[in-house]
Structure 1
Amino acid sequence: MDRSQRSRIVEIILGIVFIGLGIFSLNRPIATLGALVIWFGVFSIIRGIATLTGMGAYGDDKSRGVRLFIGIVDILIGFIFVANLAKGAFWLGIFFAVWFFVESIGNLFLTARFSKRSGIAKIGILILDIVCLVIAVMLILNPLVVTLALPILVGWFAILFGIVQLVQGLRFSS
């Protein structure tokens, strides 16, 4: 079996797994939300530990205090998420809403300032950026919507990604 055949088999297996995970996410949104909260909490703990253990690798003493603070906060946030799934789910919705808001503002300023496009294309992008900003504000005002929609979005993303993997794995050799 050559390398391209192994690669295609892996893509087919990944496609099937992601489609299965997507269907599970859509059928069991509460379990999916719990898994996302635990994943985010564990990731935050690992990131905090990595920040604390990597402090000595940096020669800049001025930022040690900031790194220490960030590492401890990451670990505490991780433990809060893992210890209380309900509160973790609520805060996960808030984090995603704020993240969407910050990204929308950043995109709005970057498009307005640095876009080389002019005319209708630039205006269209600016309008979409403003729409994203309005949606982000609405999500911040009601983070429960984000929390409830997250498993559905993850489910559909997993299904679409799985289909892409299957198509790539089943493609005919040229």
Structure 2
Amino acid sequence: MEELARTWWVYLVRGVCAILFGVLALIWPAITVLALVVVFGAYAIVDGVFALFGAGRGAGLGSRGWMIFYGVVSILTGVAVFVWPGITALVLLFFIAAWAVVTGVLEIVAGIRLRGTAANEWMFVISGALSVLFGVLLFIRPAPGALALVWLIGIMAILYGIALVALSFRIKGLASRWRGPSGTPRVV
């Protein structure tokens, strides 16, 4: 707990970076997907570096090994984005489209299987159909779909960043409650 409390600011920096990334995506909606991918690549590298730093300082919420793994994967993702930005954008878009179709089909199947056994099972079918429609539209019209994804990614990054900032202050607050008035750890 003490190690986590000493490095609360790592989560704060990661949260602020996510918020800045999200705001940039929303301020310039006409930004090309290629530019967004490059900004994402930079964010992934910075996030990975801070995750490795946090792991080195013992600031992981999980095991140190998983935090190191996360940091390395994040950095490698960022490097891949810089090496293949155009391919990264298109592949990412198609992965999201495929994910939307597959999850939509699974939701439709779940809604049909739950027919008569659960209340409002039709909501599974409707949400699944919307997900399939979204995925198909991304496959058919990738450019407008990419612009829509810019907005979704921007909003998601801002919400994620706000959550990390809140977590950082919560961890900082827990540290002060965990210590006594003299700064020494309380014995429980």
TM-score normalised by L of structure 2: 0.54
1:129-140 aligned within 5 A: 129-140=128-139
Q: Sequence identity of aligned pairs in percent? A: 23
Q: Which has the higher helix share?
A: 1
- CA distance in 2: counterparts of 1:127 and 1:22, whole angstroms: 29
| 1:33 matched to 2:32 | no
Note the C-alpha offset of 1:163. Answer: 0.3
Q: Provide, for residues 5-46 of structure 1, a one-character-per-residue CA deviation record: whole Å limited to 9, x for no partner.
A: 22422221211121122223334532113455999xxxxxxx
CA deviations on 1:91-114 (whole Å, 9 max, x unpaired) are 54344323311221123224433x
Deviation at 1:140, TM superposition (A): 2.8
Which structure carries more relative contact order (alpha carbon 8 Å, separation 6+)?
A: 1
Measure the CA separation in 2 of the matches of 1:37 and 1:143.
Answer: 20
- Distance in 1 between residues matched to 2:116 and 2:7, nearest whole Å: 39
- Count, aligned residues: 132
Look up the match of 2:155: 156
Name the amino acid aligned to 1:32: L
Tell me how large the CA RMSD over aligned residues is: 3.5
Counterpart-to-counterpart distance in 1, 2:36 and 2:157: 12
Where do 1:79-158 residues align within 5 Å?
82=84, 85=86, 89-90=89-90, 92-113=92-113, 118-158=117-157
Residues 5 and 14 of structure 1, relative CA distance in 2, 3 Å threshold: same
In structure 1, C-alpha distance between the alignment counterparts of 2:110 and 2:118, rounded to whole Å: 16
| Contact 1:37–1:89, Cα closer than 8 Å, also in 2 | no
Q: Is 1:11–2:11 an aligned residue pair?
A: yes
